[in-house]
Structure 1
Amino acid sequence: MRTRPVLIYDGDCAFCTSSVRFAERRLRPRCEISPWQFADLDVLGVTQERAEYELLWVTPAGAVHGGVQAVAKLLQDAGRGWVVPGVLLSLPPFRWIAHGVYRLVANNRERMPGGTPACALPADRRSGTRAPSGHAE
């Protein structure tokens, strides 16, 4: 059984990867971090479709938080001064506003600094990705 949460991100997206590396350097979270392309999604209880759609935070008990709530959990896990913004992101109306901003960024990540055209491609057309569970590779 896992004892630490897992942060799942799109490792084929340069913007996502840069964001996670920034979080590793600045926040120093106490979680495992893995691109969905190399994670055992079945064991984590996550579908590939959801992992492609949003950042995911999977607790040791198996609860899955996505998008801005995954960011909130990451901030809370980092401790120190990051807890307050993490808690605020979990509360209305901050949660609602942050969700809108998250979706705007996620839907346009290929246009963000560090993003590449590959970020906009469906997962089955990106290099180095695996076929969805139940599909032939």
Structure 2
Amino acid sequence: MRNQPVLVFDGDCGFCSTSVRFIERHLRPRCETVPWQLADLEALGVSSTRAEREVLWVTPSGVVYGGAQAVAKALLSAGGGWAPAGGLLMLPPVRWAAHGVYRLVAKNRHRMPGGTAACALPRRRADGL
């Protein structure tokens, strides 16, 4: 069992990597950060399909939060002035709005600062995969 949460992100995405480096340097959340491409996803209890679509926060007990909720957990973990923002992101209706904003950013991360064509999310196939 792990002692601390793990923040799993897309290490091939320049926007994601830059965002995580910013979080590590300025927010200092109490967690391990690891690109999903280097993570033991099976041990974390997540699929590569999910990991390539959203940032994940995996608790030591194995609870997985994705997207905006993962960001909220990182903010809560950082403490200080960041914790209230994280707490707010966990509450409806802010949580619902944050989910929508996260999906919009994730869908367009290849257009964001630092993003490249490699940052684009995989397209869903006709069979839904």
TM-score, normalised with respect to structure 1: 0.87
Aligned equivalent of 1:40: 40
Q: Percent identity, aligned pairs only?
A: 69
Shift of 1:121: 5.9
Q: How does 1:9-20 map to 2 (within 5 A)?
A: 9-20=9-20
Shift of 1:115: 0.1
The 1-side partners of 2:52 and 2:120 are apart by: 11
Moved >3 Å (runs of 4+): none
TM-score, normalised with respect to structure 2: 0.93
The 2-side partners of 1:121 and 1:32 are apart by: 24
The 1-side partners of 2:121 and 2:74 are apart by: 27
The 2-side partners of 1:84 and 1:121 are apart by: 30
Aligned equivalent of 2:126: none
Q: Return 5+ residue gaps in structure 2 as ranges.
A: 124-129
The 1-side partners of 2:30 and 2:76 are apart by: 10
Shift of 1:109: 0.3
Aligned equivalent of 1:127: none
For 2:52, what is the secondary structure of its paired residue? helix
Shift of 1:120: 1.5
The 1-side partners of 2:15 and 2:61 are apart by: 29
The 1-side partners of 2:34 and 2:120 are apart by: 20
The 1-side partners of 2:6 and 2:12 are apart by: 18
Q: Which amino acid aligns with 1:80?
A: G
How far does the alpha carbon of each residue in 1:6-58 deviate from its partner, in whole angstroms, 9 at most, with x for none? 00000000000000001011101110000000000000000000001100000
Q: Which amino acid aligns with 2:10?
A: D
Q: Which amino acid aligns with 1:107?
A: K
Q: Which amino acid aligns with 1:45?
A: G
Q: Return 5+ residue gaps in structure 1 as ranges.
A: 124-137
